[in-house]
């Protein structure tokens, strides 16, 4: 279906005129920072970088791209981990950076929502909400630089999914520029609207391959009046599973985080980050960072959580636990979780997976994957951690100490393929929250049914018949 | 695009052979109950009623329908209010009733989900969940007869949307038979899966026009350990708005219902239903039935709600309130809400609307609509009630006392059109939870942009190129 061709100098000039020369980058050196992501796992070239400031400009850019068969690669904060925002090596694509489209159009306190543009940085959206007395609950590691458009286009997850859902669950309405430049104004701020097909979910998670999200109505929540944060130690993953059931049954909607951490991860963080320390008196094979929140200050959350932990201790589900008694203590516990990915860098190469399995199958998944790793790369050190309550485990594997990093990383694809087989056997997903991008596109025929792939291809063909939107990504 | 034709006797015979003669109805008298809904506002004829028991049979039926250009009208519990499940008058469509496809395939307690087939009655799903120690939170008036397939195909709402979301928010995975008989197995039980386009949201709310939902993985929640139910009286809608903000800020996720009721509605119910009585000592222009739930028995929910009401009373937001002190008292309060629709039948004709507006605009919407009604049908009695917290008001209008019912009901379309203008002016929806069906299909070109209609039509064309799926509904 692709009718893509390299843009002529005349076409490039027409693109530049849409945004003005000050907001178009043609110099290769100036373009460099847009052409790769921070890990430099994905890098490419572009014919041009465009930075439109209005929806009208985005519309004109896509209309011209559609007319001329020019490939468009949308990019937000450039924090994606699967290369969805990085152009190919060919140098004939136009990179559409949405950073300047970053206004807050409206805040509706009674409706508990606000209308924001795609280029708004997530942390800024959180801050604006807080200043208005509301919470925008999405929390991800890249929140300081990722942008709303990218967050929604990849349906970002993070540490608050358990209570508030994924990014798509936080959206009431969207504005999208279609492949031919038409603008779909779906910026409704309604909780309930059954007047036709739900179009917004089609564009969210589609990584810019079906349309370009330019604005969204996002949901706001009351700021929790009380939060209880604790670190719990377990003797086994089975114990962690039993305790998760207990904690979920205790709090359900109040349970805002349940992050699992392995002993080796705690060791990595405390070894490499000053000011961090072992959270419990003795070492345990597994830990969970748990957080409960309540909008009701009189709900006795802290004493409730203390009672919960005592019961779990008596039942033998948990080996030890500590509750944060100040915001600083809570931050110190969170830091052990937040530095876990970074800490692995100091231990050499790391082969990563972003997978999910049914929650009940997490212990089996990790046990089987650990055995597999030892058979494939003897001495390699699995550091599986992440969002237990969502079934989403970042199954990362650090290299054997002392081994050559490049040699270890050469196993990446084989290890991925083998771990993914276990995931598929457990009816899980090979991409829980990061998306497909270019990193996992070739895996799709193996993990999706032919019917599902045909459905995806037919949607792509319908919404982007010339294939100009982010070619080579997802489908 | 429609290539529909009446099925030949040979084609009908081939359909019958798929399900067996015992599960096909050809006799017009036996068919009668499937051909109209309980209010008899929508009625039609069919060439045949088929009651398949397996996904394989549904698949074969659609493959044959696609081959022969036979129109298929899917039907669940036949409780829809917009005629989506009722065939046309032509008598050349095949009605596909899914009642026999009603098994529970799996319950996953650790994963807090269960896999159920389309024909399962909603109340049965609720009951099975309760018996397993979990809550399936969807609550709608028709729960005793509506079925999961219809609930998801219409993205049903109800009284628990505020805390748990609409039907689509309660689904992790779907199984769908496509127009040509292919089966899409999307029965994942994952909270997080970003491996490609989200297909399930396309089929939910599409009223069987894009595919036939045959099974779903639905989410389960902890059963609330404590529930607090109260009836509150207000002097004005503005006060109700202020109190809603307070209650939402107090409880957010614990606030499981906030249903607004007008004085006239309370009078209708207490007049016509034995055993009901005025909930408060004196009469108030507006009431709200509120419910808070907590999974945590020690959260002090009752005392918290008492304190909330005291503060609101002091602030002058509420005029009076009563808290239920037993399950029976709570049921009595709920009955005032639940009989509100039925009670209007005893007061003559009623012109109904199922609309939503941004929450902040509810007072303005009701005020403007009331003025409009008096201008159009002097003496008519508006009974606006419903899901305040979702912005979803059932703006029903009872006839002037003593007027001829038929004459009053002849105003239906003109009143609808005028009320919808106010809704659109407030950026609301003309169908908040009931859908489009055949009732509101002709209104779509007026309420949707041409871009949105074109997107809907192109999705229909892509997924059902021959137009055999529920023709004449939605698009």
For the entire predicted model, the pTM comes to 0.96
**Mutation site, B296, B353, B436, interface A, largest A CB count within 10 A:** B296
Contact A157 B449 (CB under 8 A): no
| pLDDT greater than 70 at residue A278 | yes
* A196, A253, A451: residue with CB nearest B474: A196
Least confidently predicted of A118-122, A250-254, A432-436, B188-192: A250-254
Distances (CA, A) of B467 to A213, B5, B452: 30, 11, 19
A196 with B475: Cβ contact below 8 A: yes
What residues of chain A lie within 8 A of the CB of B111, using their CB? 358-360, 391
Closest in A222, A253, A452 to B249, CB measured: A222
Residue B258 has pLDDT above 80, yes or no: yes
Neighbouring CB atoms inside 10 A of A402's CB total 7
pLDDT at A2 over 70: no
Residue of chain A minimizing CA distance to B177: A451
Q: Which CATH class is domain A348-439?
A: alpha beta
In this structure, of A10-14, A163-167, B283-287, the range with the lowest mean pLDDT score is A163-167
* A202: chain B residues, CB-CB within 8 Å: 197-198, 201-202
What per-residue confidence (pLDDT) applies to A225? 86
pLDDT tens for each residue of B132-172: 999 999 999 999 999 999 999 999 999 899 989 999 999 99
- Count CB pairs under 8 A between chains A and B: 284
Check whether A252 has a pLDDT greater than 80: no
pLDDT above 70 as % of chain A = 99
Please judge whether B295 and A249 are an interchain contact, meaning their C-beta atoms are less than 8 angstroms apart.
Answer: yes
B390 and A192 within 8 Å at the Cβ level: the answer is yes
Q: Which two tokens stand for residue B28?
A: 């017009």
According to DSSP H, which parts of B119-204 are helical? 122-131, 148-153, 161-164, 200-203
Structural tokens at position B426: 């407030």
Shortest Cα distance, chain A CAs vs residue B161, angstroms = 8
Mind listing the pLDDT tens digit for each residue in A338-361?
Answer: 999 999 999 999 999 999 999 999
Task: Kindly report the backbone phi and psi dihedral angles of residue A192, in degrees, each rounded to the nearest multiple of 5, phi listed first.
Answer: -130, 120
Please tell me which of the candidates A197, A205, A250 has its beta carbon nearest to residue B296: A250
For position A64, what pLDDT does the model report?
98
- Using an 8 Å CB-CB cutoff, list chain B residues near A462: 458-459, 461-462
Contact check, Cβ <8 Å, B451/A184: yes
Contact A392 B192 (CB under 8 A): yes
Q: What is the pLDDT of residue B251?
A: 66
Q: How many CA atoms lie within 13 A of A361 on its CB side?
A: 19
Q: How far is A244 from chain B (nearest CA, A)?
A: 9
pLDDT at A253: 66
Task: Please tell us whether the domain made up of A9-100 is placed in CATH 3.30.43.10.
Answer: yes
Averaged pLDDT, A16-39:
96
Residues of B in contact with A359 (CB under 8 A): 110-112
pLDDT exceeds cutoff 70 at B1: no
Decide if B462 contacts A459 (C-beta within 8 A). yes
Closest chain B residue to the Cα of A450, Cα to Cα: B184
pLDDT of A208 reads 98
Kindly tell me if the per-residue pLDDT of A124 is higher than 80. yes
Dump pLDDT digits (tens) for A400-419. Answer: 999 999 999 999 999 999 99
Q: What does the domain layout of chain A look like in residue ranges? A: 9-100, 104-222, 226-338, 348-439
B296 pLDDT more than 80: no
User: What is the rounded average pLDDT of the residues A147-156?
Assistant: 98
From the list A178, A191, A435, which residue is nearest B194 (CB)? Answer: A435
Residue B2's pLDDT is 57
Q: What are phi and psi of A24, to 5 degrees?
A: -125, 140
Mean pLDDT of A236-262: 89
> For B371-420, what is each residue's pLDDT tens digit?
999 999 999 999 999 999 899 999 999 999 999 999 999 999 999 999 99
Which stretches of A377-449 are DSSP H helices? 405-409, 412-425, 444-447
Q: Mapping DSSP to helix (H, G, I), strand (E, B) and coil, where does residue A245 land?
A: helix
Residue B403 Cα, gap to closest chain A Cα (Å): 33
Contact between B411 and B397 under an 8 Å Cβ cutoff? The reply is no
What are the structure tokens assigned to B321, written together?
């309130």
pLDDT reading at A175 higher than 70? yes
Mutate to test the interface with A, among B140, B165, B171, B194 (most CBs of A within 10 A): B194
State the Cα–Cα distance between residues B5 and B18, nearest whole angstrom: 20
Specify the length of chain A in residues: 475
Q: How far is B79 from chain A (nearest CA, A)?
A: 16
Nearest to B293 by CA among A234, A47, A192, A299: A299
The average pLDDT across A102-115 equals 95
**Contact between chains at B163 and A253 (C-beta distance less than 8 A):** yes
Is residue B253 within 8 Å of B294, Cβ to Cβ?
A: no
Helix extents (H) in B339-449:
340-343, 362-376, 405-409, 412-425, 444-447
We find that the CATH architecture of domain A104-222 is 2-Layer Sandwich (3.30)
The strand pairing partners of B228, in sequence order, are: B292
Nearest CA in chain A to B458: A462
For domain B226-338, give the fold. Alpha-Beta Plaits (3.30.70)
Longest dimension (CA), chain B: 75
- Given this model, what pLDDT does residue A79 score? 95
Interface mutation target, options B132, B213, B253, B392, chain A, most CBs of A under 10 Å: B253
Is the pLDDT at B98 greater than 60? The verdict is: yes
A297 Cβ neighbours under 8 A, 6+ residues apart: A225, A226
| Cβ neighbours of B358 in A, within 8 Å | 108, 110-111, 189-190
Contact A296 B304 (CB under 8 A): yes
CB contact under 8 A, A359 and B252: no
The neighbouring-strand residues paired with A323 are A230
For residue B430, list chain A residues with Cβ-Cβ distance below 8 A.
195
Q: Do B169 and A169 touch (CB under 8 A)?
A: yes
Mean pLDDT of B44-50: 98
Q: How far apart are CA A366 and CA A359, in angstroms?
A: 12
Percentage of chain B beyond pLDDT 90 is 91
A141 vs A160: CA distance, rounded Å: 12
Per-residue model confidence (pLDDT) at position A133: 94
At residue B299 the predicted structure's pLDDT band, cuts being 50, 70 and 90, is: confident
The rounded percent of chain A whose pLDDT value lies above 90 is: 91
Neighbouring C-alpha atoms within 13 Å toward the C-beta of A333? 26
Which among A295, A391, A449 has the least Cβ separation from residue B191?
A391
Percent of chain B topping pLDDT 70: 99
pLDDT of residue A301: 84
**Nearest residue of B to residue A446, measured between CA atoms:** B195
- Do A104-222 and A9-100 have the same topology in CATH? no
- State the pLDDT at residue A213: 98
Number of Cβ within 10 Å of residue A145's Cβ equals 15
Residue B240 has pLDDT above 60, yes or no: yes
Residue A407 C-alpha, separation from nearest chain B C-alpha, in angstroms = 29
Task: Confirm if A109 and A129 have CB atoms less than 8 A apart.
Answer: no
Q: Which residues of B touch A206 (CB under 8 A)?
A: 197
* Chain-chain contact of A463 with B463 (C-beta, under 8 angstroms): no
**What residue of A is the nearest CA neighbor of B240?**
A110
pLDDT of residue B304: 87
B-chain CB neighbours of A459 within 8 Å are: 197, 459, 462
In Å, how far are A30, A94, A96, B70 from A47, measured between CA atoms?
Answer: 12, 6, 11, 51
Q: Which residues of B touch A198 (CB under 8 A)?
A: 155, 168, 201-202, 204-205
Q: Could you report the predicted ipTM of this complex, rounded to two decimals?
A: 0.95
Which of these, A350, A180, A343, A190, lies nearest to A269 by C-alpha position?
A343
Chain B interface test: which of A195, A227, A432, A441 (most B C-beta within 10 Å): A195
Q: Mean pLDDT over all residues of chain A?
A: 95
Cα B199 to Cα B188: distance, rounded to the nearest angstrom: 12
| Nearest-Cα residue of chain A relative to residue B453 | A196
**Do A436 and B194 make contact, defined as CB atoms within 8 angstroms?**
yes
**Which chain B residues contact residue A204 at CB under 8 A?**
198
Q: Using 50, 70 and 90 to split pLDDT, how confident is the model at A295?
A: confident
Q: Which residues contact A59 (CB under 8 A, 6 or more apart)?
A: A177, A181, A182, A183
Which residue on chain B is closest to A181 by alpha carbon? Answer: B451
Residue B188 has pLDDT above 70, yes or no: yes
Q: What average pLDDT does the structure give for chain B?
A: 95
B85 vs B44: CA distance, rounded Å: 10
Give dist(CA B170, CA B201) in Å, integer. Answer: 11
CB A186 within 8 A of CB A175: yes
- Beta-strand ranges (E) seen in A334-408 are 350-351, 354-356, 381-387, 392-398
Whether residue B299 and residue A300 make contact (CB cut-off 8 A), yes or no, is yes
Is residue B300 over pLDDT 90? no
């Amino acid at each position: 279906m692709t009718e893509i061709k390299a843009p002529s100098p005349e076409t490039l000039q027409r693109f530049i005129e849409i945004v003005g020369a000050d907001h178009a980058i043609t110099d290769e050196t100036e373009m460099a920072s847009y052409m790769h992501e921070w890990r430099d796992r994905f890098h490419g070239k572009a014919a041009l970088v465009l930075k439109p400031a209005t929806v009208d400009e985005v519309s004109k850019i896509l209309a011209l791209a559609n007319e001329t068969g020019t490939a468009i690669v949308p990019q937000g904060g450039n924090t994606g981990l699967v290369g969805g925002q990085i152009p190919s090596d060919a140098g004939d694509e136009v990179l559409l950076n949405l950073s300047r489209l970053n206004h807050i159009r409206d805040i509706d306190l009674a409706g508990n929502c606000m209308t924001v543009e795609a280029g708004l940085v997530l942390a800024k959206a959180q801050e604006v909400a807080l200043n208005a007395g509301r919470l925008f609950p999405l929390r991800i590691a890249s929140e300081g630089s990722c942008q709303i458009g990218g967050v929604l286009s990849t349906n970002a997850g993070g540490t608050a999914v358990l209570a508030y859902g994924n990014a798509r669950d936080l959206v009431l309405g969207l504005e999208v520029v279609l492949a031919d430049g038409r603008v779909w104004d779906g910026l409704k701020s309604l909780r309930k609207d059954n007047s036709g097909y739900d179009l917004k979910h089609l564009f969210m998670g589609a990584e810019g391959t079906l349309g370009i999200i330019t604005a969204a109505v996002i949901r706001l929540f009351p700021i929790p009046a009380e939060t209880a944060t604790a670190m719990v130690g377990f003797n086994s993953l089975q114990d962690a599973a039993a305790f998760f059931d207990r904690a979920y049954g205790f709090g359900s909607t109040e349970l805002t985080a349940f992050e699992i951490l392995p002993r080796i991860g705690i060791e990595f963080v405390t070894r490499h980050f000053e000011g961090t320390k072992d959270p419990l008196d003795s070492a345990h094979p597994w830990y969970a960072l748990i957080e409960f929140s309540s909008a009701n200050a009189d709900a006795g959350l802290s004493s409730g959580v203390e009672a919960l932990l005592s019961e779990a201790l008596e039942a033998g589900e948990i080996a030890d636990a500590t509750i944060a008694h100040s915001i600083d203590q809570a931050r110190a516990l969170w830091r052990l979780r937040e530095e876990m990915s970074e800490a692995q860098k100091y231990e050499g190469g790391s082969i990563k997976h972003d997978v999910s399995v049914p929650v009940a199958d997490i212990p089996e998944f990790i046990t089987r994957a650990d055995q597999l790793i030892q058979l494939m790369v003897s001495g390699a050190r699995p550091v599986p951690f992440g969002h237990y309550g969502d079934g989403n485990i970042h199954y990362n594997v650090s290299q054997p100490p002392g081994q050559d990093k490049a040699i270890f990383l050469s196993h990446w694809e084989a290890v991925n393929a083998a771990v993914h087989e276990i995931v598929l056997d457990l009816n899980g997903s090979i991409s829980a929250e990061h998306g497909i991008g270019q990193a996992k596109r070739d895996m799709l025929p193996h993990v999706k049914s032919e019917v599902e792939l045909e459905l995806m291809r037919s949607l792509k063909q319908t919404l982007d018949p010339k294939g100009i939107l982010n070619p080579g990504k997802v489908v």
